Amino acid sequence: MPRLDGWLDPELEDLFRDQPELADTARLLHTSRPLAEADPHFRHQLRGHLMAEAERSLRRRRAWWRVGPAHAAWSGAAVGVVAVAAAVVSLLFGHTQDHQNLFASSNVAAQHAVSPADVITVAFNQPMNHQAVEKGVHIQPATTVNYSWRGNKLVITPVHHLVGNTPYTVTIAQPSIRASSGATAAAPIQITFGTAPTPPPGPSTPIPPRLAAAALGSAETGASVVVAPDGAVAVSSGLLPAATVEASPPPRPSSPSASPAAAGQLGVSIPAVIDFPAGGGAPVVRGPSATALAFAPAGSLLAMAVPNPDGGSLIEVAASNGGGTTVLGQAATTVTALAWTSNERLIFADGDAIKSVQLSGHQRILLTLPTASGEVDALSSSGYAFVAAPGSTGGGQLLNIAAGTSRLLSGVTAGGVAFSADGRTVAWIDAGGAGSRLVTEPVDRDTPASVSTLDPSAPTSDVALNVDGTEVAYVLSASTGAAQLVVAQLPSGAPLAVSPAGSAPAFAPSGGGFGFIASTPSGAQVERGMIPGSSAAARLAAPAAASSTLDAFVDAQVRGDRKALTALSGPGVDASARAPHRLSRAYIVSVSASSDGTVNATVELIVDPTGHHSTASVADERLALSPSTDGSTYLVVDIDTTSLHDQSSGPHVVRVSSSATGAFTLQISFDSDLDASSVPGAISVTSASGVATPISTTYDTSSRTATVTLASLPAGPLRVAVSTALRDIDGQALAAAFSATVAF
Amino acid sequence: MSLPRAYEEQLVERAKSDADAFGELYDHYFSQIYRFVYSRVRDQDAAEDVTSEVFFKALRAIGRYRSSGHPFSAWLYQISVNAIYDHYRSRRPTSSLDGAVGVADPARPVVERVVDSSEAERVWAAIDSLPPQQRMAMTLKLGEDLKLAQIGRIMGKSEGAVKLLIHRGMIGVRQRLGIVTLVEEEA
């Protein structure tokens, strides 16, 4: 028999050294073994169910448990810093007679793509002196945090989330690592990690761009909209002129399927579910007004909860390809919320229970609501529900449907809760305090984080999240009564766009679709929105083609993609030889376009810290880009890169951008939480002739961004400088004086 | 990566009374167990069902878990093997497994069959019909690339015993694929 080529486990090679046919069979099995990574969504969901089940079963078990004897004191010979670079590390050893070791582990240790919205945990294997440990925590870049404890686990929650695409080092000083018994550790803890390269927080511009939108049709006041992945928008209670509508008469339970009828059968006076196709085709009436709507993840099906005359509801599904409407199930009372958990199954809530129904029509009760419980306001694709508190007291419970467990969301008012389409994030308006607060957190973790709104003093309502919880939409009610719709990035809260009179925002379950209801002099109107780009459009005063090349070039440097670097470079430029190897990440600090067409950029190249080298290594790079010969794109024509060196402690400038919307402003973003009082005096702007330009500077703590407003715009490029007078919250000065050229 | 033994033992003890500790065990072992299960059932839905079953069983039974000197993963793998067996038993009779293997064309050289993915599935299906101990040793070695010593710890056997199981398993697979072997098998 011919031999199979290929790798074989050395142990098997040895085992079958004298039996090549068995080695061949082993190779065959190894080569053909099925390999698969689990769906992260499944992993996440299963964890949630297990945790809920664990909490429930442990509550039952705890009655039998007995706390063991107190742990002995520690001492030990451990020296130096203990890097929590692996999942777990043994910190030090106790006396041989008590054998009590201290272990610490962290959820973020040695990871390179931690979500900026994540919390940092440090789990110890025995009770700690909370105050002492908290006192010893130091985070670089400086970050304002809150501390909480879950048993022996320290939870460090950044007040304004972490900065994306940034290396972090968390140190706990040795004398502060103190057990409840009073014994202290012999070495400090150091945890290094990097955050995911999410889009950088947008600048806190005084006047965010207006949301571009196209009017689709009229709607009743109070109607809601949903958006399909392809951008189709459906409204729960729309009003359209008969001539523009294809009518699909509402089905009856006795007639489970109905086909769309000819256009013009429905008059303007009958509110109906109306589907506005993405391509701009004629709107289609899907049925009578609905109390809840949801597009399936694939977008081909629209589920509707349609009230019955007897007080109940029908659950109907309409196919977007004109295949008609099918009644899947019924509810005895009004359905208040509806969500798809897959393309085959949806869940809905009426006054009595939360139920599921398959496309086959198979329906079952998932959870019976307690008598006198409040209304289910929202359902998630991951199986969570928000149940409002009875009456109008505000607040309610976030309910894990499968596990039957819940936790309080305080101060929530009607319509004030939304889930991301992936079901992982919940956002709500907490109106329980003096003002209203926009809050987000993962559905399976009680780690709320406040999000800055455009006007913290204005009441907030109508919250919506995009597919993965990276964008939020909300409505601000001005004292004049006008409702301003805001779309903002998460976690920074930096506004992406506003609409002066919008409500009921909705994102598509995938893709970038967005819809809302606009208030116009002629009444409520359904609109399809276009959210401006979250980064490139707002941050760079450079041609789009140059920005595209720049982004691709920096990305290729991080990936070490020599082929891509060559393709993006001009003749004679050996890009792959210039950049340091094994980069962890990089970010573009500033970009400016010259009058000769050249675009200049400054870039920070970073190698994350490791267990062996606890400081990030950085290199500063300056790039020049010019249009290609045929003008179709830009190429990198010059590179100047320093060698890698240890990153200095203290805050760093991570981005400088300019905006001419409404006023001439510069936005300077930092990687650290700053001492706000030190910011204005540390920033200066000079003209091309070297004359200082009058400026006023404000600092937004949530986005860590200084906004510099110019009193006037001198001719030519400007030089913005940040001096080392700038301090972070820990009193550390700016790591190095900074300057950059900017243009409007 | 394995957890340090002492830490793992403490974590398991904590998991009996602390949901977070169980969560930490889950975070550490989920990928390993899912991959192992998937390699046996080769279907995403089934792998998710079985993996869920494994961790729920582990959660319900962890209060009774007593360390026997073997790593905690050995216990999880053992639950996984049983859950996989239950899965197959509920889906199809053992005879159909043999049937699935039997349709392979024994006349074709093995080297030719590997290019055929459905043939690859049948080749792996041959492992399903091996005796349980051989099946487990083969899967952990060829599916998970574990060292013989690790497999021994998981299965509570010596390295030599694991070698014997794999040797017999390999011959068993060849027999089930209709490949003639010249190696004599010991009783």
* Arch. (CATH architecture) of B92-180: Orthogonal Bundle (1.10)
Q: How far apart are CA B36 and CA B65, in angstroms?
A: 22
pLDDT of residue A612: 63
In the structure, what pLDDT confidence band is assigned to residue A652 with cuts at 50, 70 and 90?
very high
Are the C-beta atoms of A693 and A714 separated by less than 8 Å? yes
Domain end call among A531, A555, A587: A531
- Beta bridge partner(s), residue A218: A239, A525
- Domain hosting A13: range is 1-29
Same domain, A471 and A386: yes
Bridge pairing between strands A137-140 and A120-124: unpaired
Q: What is the mean pLDDT of chain A?
A: 78
Please state which CATH number belongs to domain B1-89. Answer: 1.10.1740.10
Contacts with B138 from chain A: Cβ below 8 Å: 29
**B27 interaction partners in chain A (CB closer than 8 Å):** 47, 107
Look-up of token digits 């990871």 = A111
Helices B19-41 + B72-91 axis angle, to 10: 50
Instruction: List the structure tokens of A510.
Output: 């995938």
Does residue A595 fall inside a structural domain? yes
For position A115, which CATH number holds?
Answer: 2.60.40.3710
Q: Report helix, strand or coil for A133.
A: helix
Helix (H, G, I), strand (E, B) or coil at A63: helix
User: In terms of domains, do A119 and A13 share one?
Assistant: no
- CA dihedral for B21, B23, B26, B28, sign (positive or negative): negative
A107-136 pLDDT, tens digit per residue, is 777 777 788 888 888 888 778 999 999 999
Chain B closest-CA separation from residue A259 CA (Å): 34
Residue A611, pLDDT score = 60
pLDDT at A269: 56
Last residue of a domain, one of A477, A496, A531: A531
Beta strand ranges found along A228-298 (DSSP E): 233-239, 246-247, 257-258, 272-276, 284-288, 292-295
Q: How much is the pLDDT for A676?
A: 94
Across the range B46-65, mean pLDDT stands at 89
* Closest by CA position to A296, among listed A272, A257, A328: A328
Give residue A146's pLDDT. 92
pLDDT in the model for residue A293: 92
**A304 beta partners:** A293, A316
Do A477 and A607 sit in the same domain of this protein?
no
Chain A residues closer than 8 Å to B163 by CB: 15
State whether A179 and A311 are in the same domain. Answer: no
Query: A368 and A409, same structural domain?
Result: yes
Helix (H) or strand (E) holding A400: strand A396-400
Tell me the mean pLDDT in the region A301-321.
87
In a domain, A672, yes or no: yes
Among A250-254, A435-439, A634-638, which stretch is predicted with the lowest mean pLDDT?
Answer: A250-254
The pLDDT of residue A25 is above 50:
yes
A513 within domain boundaries: yes
Indicate if A606 and A526 belong to the same structural domain: no
Instruction: Identify from A88, A107, A111, A118 which residue to disrupt to test chain B contact, counting B C-beta atoms within 10 A and taking the largest count.
Output: A88
Q: How confident is the model at residue A657 (pLDDT cuts 50, 70, 90)?
A: confident
Find the mean pLDDT for residues A166-179.
89
Locate the domains of chain B by residue range.
1-89, 92-180
> For residue range A459-502, what is the model confidence (pLDDT) as tens digits?
888 899 988 888 899 998 876 667 788 888 776 677 777 887 88
Q: Is residue A515 part of a domain?
A: yes
- Cα–Cα dist A566/A576, whole Å: 7
Residues of B within 8 A of A19 (CB-CB) are: 183
Q: What is the pLDDT, as a whole number, of residue A249?
A: 46
Average pLDDT, stretch A716-741?
A: 91
What is the structure's pLDDT at A539? Answer: 33
What SS3 class is residue B95? helix
Find the CB nearest A101 among B6, B47, B171: B6
A28: nearest CB among B38, B110, B166: B110
pLDDT at A93 over 90: no
Residue A223: is its pLDDT beyond 50? yes
Give tens-digit pLDDT for A504-554.
999 987 666 789 998 888 888 898 876 654 333 333 345 667 878 888 898
The pLDDT of residue B110 = 38
Q: Is residue A453 part of a domain?
A: yes
Please give the backbone phi and psi of residue A383, each rounded to the nearest 5 degrees, phi first: 90, 30
Check residues A268 and B68 and name the one with the higher pLDDT: B68
Q: Do B110 and A25 touch (CB under 8 A)?
A: yes
Contacts of B55 in chain A (CB under 8 A): 46, 50
Band the pLDDT of A64: cuts 50, 70, 90. Answer: very low
| DSSP category for residue A182 | S
Separation between Cα atoms, residue B177 and residue B109, nearest integer Å: 10
Residue A352 included in any domain: yes
Whether residues A123 and B20 touch (CB distance < 8 A) is answered with yes
φ/ψ of B8, rounded to 5, equals -60, -40
The confidence score (pLDDT) of residue A729 equals 94
Q: How many domains does chain A have?
A: 4
> What is the number of CB-based contacts under 8 A between chain A and chain B?
162
Chain A residues in contact with B23 (beta carbon < 8 A):
47, 50-51, 54
Question: Does the beta-carbon distance from A125 to B174 stay under 8 Å?
Answer: no
Q: Residue A109 contacts by C-beta under 8 Å, 6 or more apart in sequence?
A: A84, A85, A86, A87, A191, A192, A193
For residue A698, the model assigns a pLDDT of 92
Q: Are B26 and A47 a contacting pair at CB < 8 A? A: yes
**Weakest-pLDDT range from A242-246, A726-730, B26-30, B135-139:** A242-246
Residue whose entry in the numeric block shows the structure tokens 């993915």: B117
Same domain, A665 and A686: yes
> Could B19 and A51 be called an inter-chain contact, meaning their C-beta atoms sit closer than 8 Å?
yes
Neighbour count for residue A184 (Cβ, 10 Å): 17
The position carrying tokens 């300019």 is A658
Give dist(CA B23, CA B34) in Å, integer.
Answer: 15
A355-388 exposure pattern, b = at least 16 Cβ within 10 A, e = fewer: bbbebeeeeeebbebeeebbbbbbbbbbbbbbbb
A331-365 confidence digits (pLDDT tens) = 888 999 999 988 888 999 988 889 999 888 888 88
Note the pLDDT of residue A78.
29
Would you say the CATH fold of B92-180 matches that of B1-89? no
Confidence bin at B2 (pLDDT 50/70/90): low
Chain A residues with CB under 8 Å of B51 CB are 38, 46
**What tokens were used for A85?**
């670079």
Do A104 and A124 meet the contact criterion of CB atoms below 8 Å apart? yes
Do the chains contact at B59 and A54, CB–CB below 8 Å? yes
**What mean pLDDT comes out for the span A578-606?**
82
3-class state of residue A175 by DSSP: helix
Residue A526 and residue A546 in one domain: no
Nearest to B163 among A3, A15, A55 (CB): A15
Residues A364, A391 share a domain: yes
Tokens of A374: 């409040």
Structure token pair of residue A697: 């500077």
Q: Tell me whether residues B10 and A103 touch, CB distance under 8 A.
A: yes
pLDDT band at A201 (very low <50, low <70, confident <90, very high): very low
Sheet holding A363-368, edge to edge: A337-340, A345-349, A353-358, A363-368
What is the DSSP track for A568-635?
TB-TT--HHHHSPSS--EEEEEEEEE-TTS-EEEEEEEEE---SS--S-EEEEEEEEEEE-TTSSSEE
Residue A744, SS3 per DSSP: coil
Q: Which of B6, B39, B51 sits opposite A34 (nearest CB)?
A: B39
Question: Are A230 and A323 found together in one domain?
Answer: yes
- Record the pTM: 0.43
| pLDDT over threshold 60, residue A99 | no
Which of B10, B31, B173 shows the shortest C-beta gap to A38?
B31
Same domain, A611 and A691: yes
Question: A135 by DSSP, 3-state: which?
Answer: helix
What backbone phi and psi angles, to 5 degrees, belong to A54? -65, -45
Instruction: Take residue A231 and report the two structure tokens written for it.
Output: 């951008």
**CB B114 to CB A32 under 8 A?**
yes
Q: Pick from A347, A344, A350: which is nearest to A381 by CA?
A: A347
Average pLDDT of A392-419? 80
Same domain, A517 and A550: no
DSSP assignment of B123-162: HHHHHHTS-HHHHHHHIIIIIT---HHHHHHHHT--HHHH
